[in-house]
Structure 1
């Protein structure tokens, strides 16, 4: 998670443009959960989105993140009057001395599970999660323009690295990139410690909204300019920017960055569809994977 910890990363943009999760996702997790709801632990809390959403269901909520900038965003966005029982700690998910053993009823991670060091994380989870407690990890992969199949092809060509050496896809961190693209299937809670393992997945289609397969959780209608700014929160874009200093986005007066270049190609591929209008709204869906397990 080194990218998000860097001072050059825009934590405010991450909070503003990343997608949120619907009540149905949280309800799925809470329905799966059995027993007390005293403490929920949110790993890789980022700007505190998940912590604030689940806080009303628990007596106490703790969000952790190794990024000082993310923790600052989380604290800024979390009203102490509305959420007096929510707190945040800067620190690694693999080492949490501030969490008492057996005290956690539910541990969650939204779009963070692909970053963890599992040989170190699993023993720590075994220590802090109570017997019968819940693990719920979920993540989303590259978005799909459900009404624009050619635009989706262009985006994935670049983000998957098929556009050639130096293309956007070459800047993703591994193995995290493959884990999230695989809908977290690579994460396998050990069966001697976890049971009743369930997975809920969705793969978007390009025949309109809801045309995919599975249970859809993450979708949003966004303006074209918002889609571009969302893409600029990707760690791969940040890596590209570090490798190409001085390449500023056009809306800031520059000649264009990698996102501008990709969008030029999208506009050409979907000629006449209006995607050159930054104010145009388009439907976006994300492929998702939700993993749930119960501590033995």
Structure 2
């Protein structure tokens, strides 16, 4: 995705602000993989396509060798740094490496029939399936698995009434209230539609070496039209965040970066003063109890000040939540539970 390759994109902030994938998701994928052809299931090599900062890559340590592939040098640099400081680098069984490349052409990095599991986390909505399905078939061993997933629009678990406001910001068309038109299409549309537009391998390949897609939806929105025979599972991707962390998440959106390229004056908008006095007081109290270095690294007051579209949306959410419930805690350091529906595609090489 082009935005992530730009020099202005901060991979470190992206890594800190994004939701992390729960162990239950990988357990589900590994269980599917283990149910392949009897006597064929192997755990030797896994490849993560569009690996980004390596969040999903490092959960594949059950395999002896794990390869992360991404077109962005900045993302790969952060992935290597994350590996160096984590427990993953000391795994007694797995070795990791990160290489520059694309999901559509793995020939320089991955040999024929050398892979047991191919995954893509929050990347497959950008794929050219006319090339990815043939490459998946080429690199997988018989009995190997491909698992591709995305998380879709976030929700605030205890504030379902805010869903229309979230939808307007992410999918609307008014430039004063929405970044929707600035997501790269059709990829974003494919994500919003839970990957239902991803074609079956059989429509691309001339043979039946890959199975039909098993589609699994964790926490799909009510009323969403899903393919026949889809599996519906409870929500599994949740994260408790401070409200100020939620602002940080909004500021990682690719659409926001593109929006500000088109509307640079939005960054010069007059400061939105809603909650400002309380927010500054809260940050000051927290800072007094922490090391000065930590304060400037993670909670500087400049992070929460501004009047651009992301700050306005953030404060709209807080204001609406407070108006709807007198018990709602919407302070900058108060916690809010965020959840994301997940769409998972599973395919096996026959």
Q: What is the aligned partner in structure 2 of residue 27 from structure 1?
A: 27
Q: What is the aligned partner in structure 1 of residue 313 from structure 2?
A: 262
Cα gap change, 1:214 to 1:36, in 2 (>3 Å): closer
Post-superposition Cα deviations, 1:58-104, rounded to whole Å, max 9, x if no partner, equal: 01000000011000000000037415610000111111121111101
Mapped pair 1:201 → 2:251: no
Question: C-alpha displacement at 1:165, in angstroms?
Answer: 7.4
**2:70 and 2:99 in contact (8 A); partners too:** yes
- Out of 67, 73, 88, the residue aligned to residue 68 of structure 1 is 73
Q: What is the aligned partner in structure 2 of residue 18 from structure 1?
A: 18
Between 124-133 and 70-79, report the one with greater CA deviation.
Answer: 124-133
Question: Normalising by the residue count of structure 2, what TM-score does the alignment of the two structures yield?
Answer: 0.77
Post-superposition Cα deviations, 1:171-219, rounded to whole Å, max 9, x if no partner, equal: 111111111111112113323232153221023679xxxxxx7332211
Cα gap change, 1:287 to 1:174, in 2 (>3 Å): same
**1:11 and 1:70 in contact (8 A); partners too:** yes
Pairing of 1:86-235 with structure 2 (within 5 A): 86-96=96-106, 97-163=108-174, 167-191=178-202, 192-195=208-211, 197-203=213-219, 214-235=233-254
Question: Normalising by the residue count of structure 1, what TM-score does the alignment of the two structures yield?
Answer: 0.90
**1:146 and 1:204 in contact (8 A); partners too:** no
Q: What is the aligned partner in structure 2 of residue 58 from structure 1?
A: 63
Higher helix share: 2
Mapped pair 1:4 → 2:4: yes
Instruction: Give the Cα–Cα distance (whole angstroms) in 2 for the partners of residues 188 and 205 of structure 1.
Output: 22
Q: What is the aligned partner in structure 2 of residue 288 from structure 1?
A: 342
Between 112-121 and 249-258, report the one with greater CA deviation.
Answer: 249-258
Instruction: Give the Cα–Cα distance (whole angstroms) in 1 for the partners of residues 182 and 320 of structure 2.
Output: 24
SS state at 2:213 partner: strand
Instruction: Give the Cα–Cα distance (whole angstroms) in 2 for the partners of residues 278 and 204 of structure 1.
Output: 29
Cα gap change, 1:49 to 1:203, in 2 (>3 Å): same
Instruction: Give the Cα–Cα distance (whole angstroms) in 2 for the partners of residues 132 and 81 of structure 1.
Output: 28
**2:148 and 2:344 in contact (8 A); partners too:** yes
Aligned Cα root-mean-square deviation (Å): 2.2
Instruction: Give the Cα–Cα distance (whole angstroms) in 1 for the partners of residues 346 and 147 of structure 2.
Output: 4
SS state at 2:77 partner: helix
SS state at 1:136 partner: strand
Q: Which runs of 5+ in 2 are unaligned?
A: 203-207, 223-231, 272-300
Q: What is the aligned partner in structure 1 of residue 302 from structure 2?
A: 252
Instruction: Give the Cα–Cα distance (whole angstroms) in 1 for the partners of residues 198 and 111 of structure 2.
Output: 25
Cα gap change, 1:77 to 1:51, in 2 (>3 Å): same
**2:71 and 2:101 in contact (8 A); partners too:** yes
Higher strand share: 1
Q: Which runs of 5+ in 1 are unaligned?
A: 207-212
How many residues align structurally?
A: 289
